A and B are shown apart, each in its own frame.
Chain A
């Protein structure tokens, strides 16, 4: 796994997402309230582009008639067939044992640290004044 600097933090503000190509792989990076997540942009069911999916919560029912909604904004529904995935792990809700989207760790690093390395920052210029989004691929 190599760490790749993909964008200044300010370019992917909270509530937004961006499709990036890292090491030739299409990766959707999401900013959920300051927390970053990276998923391969390809649904394991039939290949739908996950970056265009709908972020929603998890609705569950302990028993008929009772409903619980949790994980607000952390469930990513495929833009085609609506399969639900946990944005933190890429795990499918309906078929968790067999179906998972590849998840890539995403972190935020200070520019000062990046200048020192060992990061791959060939695609964007890095300055010490900014923070950056780093994807491990």
Chain B
């Protein structure tokens, strides 16, 4: 018989099949590299054919580290009609959205224009990616919501794309990646935060990307496991930069969502920041509150890949500190480190915590708390 993992809950405490859930991190893929052509100037078709789409890194093609599974995705997620994992809406519906009761799914397209070294091409690709999300995904499934893709290394270009999407109910956040040319609190990115705050859109920072710098602050590591672990380190640097550079003081309505970096590192980072702020406050006097207070007021975290501490009760302590209203459940479908909603949170929690964790917090942060969701949303989409 199967041996249960220590601390694995009984069936009764698992997610019931009836609870609709949010998924804060779904990765749609293109069927072909020409999928964006309807929304790209011919000039860029030729450019891509001649020069490719290199990212801001030392490798001509591909990621810096191997991905352990093909396309960094589940081996059981190839659509039956062909194409790479994540490229078929109907299969995504059949394999994930329907059986897992996904009521609200947030699309985070990766590798489709962000982080490219040619910034004008990057901006054109991001614009096309936004149109593609509407045409191929959002207009076909009312449960899905999109991310405004932006060429984040150019603040004004990125802000223009955000302003062009303001008020469009298809989009519920702006998407950045965590590895950027400078830490994300830097002034060059402020136009993005200003535009997002004005638009009422949270800014999501998804782990990964092409910044050009070594992927850890200690240099280039040797192994993929170091990259996977390093996403948490990278996002600690991102969050520290955002807090210390004062973007939350400057844009008081700004919401930030850190995606796919885990969250168990958040309490000790906040403790360290608070300790140093008490000693060094005069260095950054525009920070008028404890760093942890900015984090608590402005920052949400998607859950995947959730830490798996032993004993698992330590997870409860961690979430108690961060707040049960601050985590957005996410699966990372179809990527290989997918968290299954039926197994990902092996804690006995009460119904209110469960509702917030799996759906309520997402609806709140994305501003989708209108009564009647998702029926109302479907109507709005048609």
Say yes or no for A54: interface residue by CB 8 A criterion.
yes
In the complex, chain A residues whose CB is within 8 Å of the CB of B338: 46, 80-81
In the complex, chain A residues whose CB is within 8 Å of the CB of B344: 46
Interface string of A39-56 (1 = CB under 8 A from B): 010101111110011100
Interface string of A19-56 (1 = CB under 8 A from B): 00000000000000000000010101111110011100
In the complex, chain B residues whose CB is within 8 Å of the CB of A100: 2-3
Main secondary structure of the interface of A (DSSP, over half): loop
CB contact under 8 A between A48 and B2, given known A80-B336, A81-B336, A81-B337: no
Size range of the interface on B? 10 to 19
Bound CA–CA A95/B7 (angstroms): 14
Contact between B6 and A102, CB atoms less than 8 A apart: no
* B76, closest chain A residue (CB): A52
Contact between A82 and B5, CB atoms less than 8 A apart: no
Contact between B2 and A52, CB atoms less than 8 A apart: no
Contact between A82 and B2, CB atoms less than 8 A apart: no
In the complex, chain B residues whose CB is within 8 Å of the CB of A79: 69, 74-76, 336
B163 → chain A, closest Cβ, in Å? 39
Chain A residues engaging chain B, CB cutoff 8 angstroms: 40, 42, 44-49, 52-54, 79-82, 95, 98-102
Given contacts A52-B75, A80-B338, A80-B340, 14 further A-B pairs with CB under 8 A are: A45-B343, A46-B343, A48-B74, A52-B76, A53-B75, A79-B69, A79-B336, A80-B336, A81-B337, A95-B5, A98-B4, A99-B5, A100-B3, A102-B2
Contact sample, A vs B, 24 pairs, CB 8 Å cutoff: A40-B2, A42-B2, A44-B2, A44-B3, A44-B4, A45-B5, A45-B343, A46-B339, A46-B340, A47-B340, A48-B74, A79-B76, A79-B336, A80-B75, A80-B76, A81-B337, A82-B68, A82-B336, A95-B5, A98-B5, A99-B3, A99-B5, A100-B2, A102-B1
Chain B residues engaging chain A, CB cutoff 8 angstroms: 1-6, 68-69, 74-76, 336-340, 342-344
